[in-house]
Amino acid sequence: MSPTASITAPPSPTLTREQIEAVIASLQPVQRIMIRLLLLPFMTPSSDDIFFMARERTEPAMRSGGNIATAFGGNTAIRREKINGVPKDWIDSVGNRALLYQSQLRENLGRLNLLAAFFQDYLAGLQPELDSMEQLLATECEMGQESLDDLRAQARLAPLTYALKKLAARADKQEVEDEDYRRERLSLEYQAHLRRRDRFKKRLDQARVERQAVLLTSLSDEFLAEVWGLAVGPIRNRRVKSIQAYLSALATALHASPDQASMTAAVNAGIGPKLSGGSLNEGFSSKPVDLCGDLWSLTVQALAAELMAPVASKPCSHPGGEMKSLTVKLRDLATYGLGEDEEVKIWAQTLQCPNCVTTLRTAQQKSGLLDRQADVVLAQVKTRTAMPRKETPAEVLAKPKDAPEETGIALEERLRPWLGDDAGETGGRGSQTWW
Ligand SMILES: [Zn+2]
């Protein structure tokens, strides 16, 4: 990069973790620690950092030892244990809080990374199914372009559950011809898939927006003050100065000479959208946030681009999380087999739960759905939507015991995964028995 290059120039391919860490290490202790805390999902404060913060504690309760006496049941031996004049439990407390917030931030970022990857692959795997359905509707069912357009136009509001149930009942009584059955079944599955595509496109967009917002957000001053054990005022002051110092040092290291506007943009990016009174729990707007080319954003992007170590899995903390039926539903959801009505019931908690999101992603990757060739997808869709045959007693006897589980399951239940969100109309019988 030339000495006159703007600080907002396209991302520098040479900005690496090594460079970033070297620049941070060159800062004064307070600034070094602050930058590491601001980049906490990607950086761990050193033991020197922890010691420095513990020594600075100004909380009156901690100074007087009140908390310690309570926390350790008045055990003076522990209370007096000091490292270079700083009570050991102060050091532990600072270190534990930093690690606690780090693990929370990493868990959230990891969840969003997994979700975005899951949605992307979900949509990628859905497309060949949609293509196959369109092809079969046009060829096997001789459906014209206009009828296909109608199906698409009506997909959003079509009462799929009701229609599928009616179709199942007719098939059961042999009141429908093979060709009619296939056409109707394909039409309904096609519409259910179109609705899936719409839902998951929106979810992918939302996950990307949220991930960007998370990347651009550091711990708020209140959280930083809690880790450091200082008041919010000095923390805010240190935050701004540290970001300025880091950016100047980085610009020097990169031989860039930022103009005032670029520097301001970078400082603002470092301070983040919620400088004062901000809370991690505020939620994010649905407005897309662009990661810019300023040096702070480039720093975050360079660090976020590294492969994150998987976060240790914790069990679900929401109601029903320990039930095996939830795992089954998540697996079906990942493989396009969970009805919209069932999906709606579990979605809100699934989205927020790192464990559920991990289960979804794992099920997707194990399913092999993404590796299917187009002709395989076509054959599978064709088989699935063929008129069901009632087995003669001889066929039932001839079937090996470990035959696919379709045997004995009512047709309506086999259609369950394809039902829409209007299950209420049909009493939702399957939802009690299918799983
Ligand atoms: Zn869960």
In this predicted model, what pLDDT tens digit does every residue of 265-280 receive, in sequence order?
Answer: 888 888 876 533 344 4
What φ, ψ does residue 394 adopt, rounded to 5°?
-65, -40
| Rounded Cα distance, 126 and 148, in Å | 18
Residue 116 has pLDDT above 50, yes or no: yes
Determine the distance separating the centroid of ligand 1 and the alpha carbon of 106, expressed in angstroms.
Answer: 17
Element (H, E) at 4: none
Average pLDDT score over residue span 82-108: 88
pLDDT surpassing 50 at residue 49:
yes
408: burial class by Cβ within 10 Å (0-12, 13-18, 19+)?
Answer: exposed
Q: How far apart are alpha carbons 315 and 136 in whole angstroms?
A: 43
Burial class (CB in 10 A: 0-12, 13-18, 19+), 208: middle
pLDDT band for position 56 (cuts 50, 70, 90): confident
Give 25 Cα–ligand 1 centroid separation in angstroms.
39
* pLDDT (mean) for 227-249: 92
Predicted pLDDT of residue 365: 95
Contacts of 429 (CB under 8 A, 6+ apart): 412
How far apart CA 15 and CA 21 sit, in angstroms, is 11
Q: Which of 204-208, 260-264, 378-382 has the lowest mean pLDDT?
A: 260-264
pLDDT interval class at 288 (50, 70, 90): very low
Q: How far is the CA of 323 from the centre of ligand 1 (A)?
A: 10
Percent of the chain with pLDDT over 70: 76
Are residues 371 and 125 in contact, defined by beta-carbon separation less than 8 angstroms? no
Residue 306 has a pLDDT of 84
Read off the pLDDT band of 421 (50, 70, 90).
Answer: very low
Residues 6+ apart with CB under 8 A from 127: 197
Q: φ and ψ at 87, to 5 degrees?
A: -55, 135
Task: For 83, list phi and psi in degrees, rounded to 5.
Answer: -120, 115
Q: How far is the CA of 208 from the centre of ligand 1 (A)?
A: 21
Q: Would you place residue 75 in the very low, low, confident or very high pLDDT band (cuts 50, 70, 90)?
A: low
Buried b / exposed e along 309-324 (16+ C-beta atoms within 10 A): eebeeeebeeeeeeee
Would you give the distance in Å from CA 289 to the centre of its chain?
Answer: 17
pLDDT tops 50 at residue 406: no
| pLDDT at residue 427 in the model | 36
Q: How big, in percent rounded to 5, are the helix, strand and coil portions of the chain?
A: 65, 0, 35
Ligand 1 centroid distance, CA of 322 (Å): 8
β-strands 86-87, 82-83 pairing:
antiparallel
**How far apart are the CA of 134 and the centre of ligand 1, in A?**
35
Backbone angles phi, psi at 73, to 5 degrees: 60, 35
* Residue of 430, 56, 97 lying closest to 238 (CA atoms): 56
Residue 101 CA to ligand 1 center (angstroms) comes to: 20
Residue 224: burial class (beta carbons within 10 Å; 0-12, 13-18, 19+):
buried
Residue 391: the pLDDT is 62
Distance (angstroms) between ligand 1 centre and the Cα of 294 equals 37
- Cα–ligand 1 centroid distance for 321 (angstroms): 5
**Average pLDDT of the segment spanning 338-352:** 91
What pLDDT was estimated at residue 324? 87
Report the alpha-carbon distance of residue 181 to residue 75 in Å, rounded.
78
| Rounded distance from Cα 211 to ligand 1 centre (Å) | 20
Q: pLDDT tens across 347-382, in order?
A: 999 999 999 999 999 999 999 988 999 999 999 999
Highest mean pLDDT among 3-7, 119-123, 320-324: 119-123
Q: What is the pLDDT of residues 293-312, one digit of tens each?
A: 789 989 998 999 887 777 77
Identify whether the C-beta of residue 161 lies closer than 8 Å to the C-beta of residue 426.
Answer: yes
Distance 110 CA to ligand 1 centre (A): 15
Quick one: pLDDT at residue 412?
A: 53
Q: Residue 405: pLDDT above 50?
A: no
For 259, phi then psi, to 5°, come to -80, 175
Q: From ligand 1's centre to the CA of 374, what distance in Å?
A: 33
> From ligand 1's centre to the CA of 332, what distance in Å?
15
Q: Averaged over 52-67, what is the pLDDT?
A: 62
β partners of residue 87:
82
Å from CA of 344 to ligand 1 middle: 15
Whole-number pLDDT of residue 305: 86
CA 314 / ligand 1 centre spacing (Å): 9
- Distance (Å, rounded) from C-alpha 237 to C-alpha 240? 6
Ligand 1 center from residue 273 Cα (angstroms): 30
Mean of the per-residue pLDDT values for the chain?
80
Average pLDDT over residues 105-118: 93
**In this model, does residue 392 exceed pLDDT 70?**
no
List the beta strands (DSSP E) in 59-147.
82-83, 86-87
- Whether residue 328 is predicted with pLDDT greater than 90 in this model: the reply is yes
Domain coordinates in residue numbering, the chain: 115-213+313-433
**Backbone angles phi and psi of 122, in degrees to 5:** -60, -50
What separation in Å is there between the alpha carbon of 349 and the centre of ligand 1?
7
More confident position, 76 or 215 = 215
pLDDT tens column, 228-238: 988 899 999 99
Ligand 1 geometric centre to CA of 328 (Å): 12
Q: Are 343 and 331 in contact (CB under 8 A)?
A: no
Q: Over the stretch 184-197, which tens digit does the pLDDT of each residue have?
A: 999 999 999 999 99
Using pLDDT thresholds of 50, 70 and 90, give the confidence band for residue 340: confident
Task: Give the pLDDT of residue 282.
Answer: 41
